[in-house]
Amino acid sequence: MMPVWLVLGTEWIYRVEWEDWENSAGHREDYRIAELVAARNRGQARYLAWKTDKTFTGDMREMPRFVTHKTPLSVGGIPRVVTSEHQGPGDIGLWVRHDPQE
């Protein structure tokens, strides 16, 4: 079994979403990376979270900073991003706790 890490970007990633490239019409959509990652260690978790992002270049000098926390979850299989495997009903945020009694 492999531990699951919560990987949170501590730096904003600035991105412009263009509606009309020719007229320079667009707006900023800033975001941070937030993923649940099954990995052997913190470094591997950070790398896999960054690798799923659009800004991934492979140049380690451009990797944003992350905070990683080991969760009580563990999964089998290969190292991978498991965010979609562990989201609750409604897909709101990274985690949604759902009590079946409700």
Write the pLDDT tens digit of every residue in 30-86.
Answer: 888 999 999 999 999 999 999 998 888 889 998 999 999 999 988 999 999 998 775
> Is position 65 within any domain?
yes
> Is position 68 within any domain?
yes
State how many domains the chain has: 1
Do 83 and 94 touch, CB atoms closer than 8 A?
yes
Cα distances from 98 to residues 9, 11, 65, 90, in angstroms, run: 25, 30, 31, 10
More confident residue, 2 or 92: 2
**C-alpha span between 22 and 59 (Å, rounded):** 31
Burial of 52 (0-12, 13-18, 19+ CB in 10 A): middle
> Is position 94 within any domain?
no
Query: Which residues form the domain of 50?
Result: 2-85
Question: Residue 101 above 50 pLDDT?
Answer: no
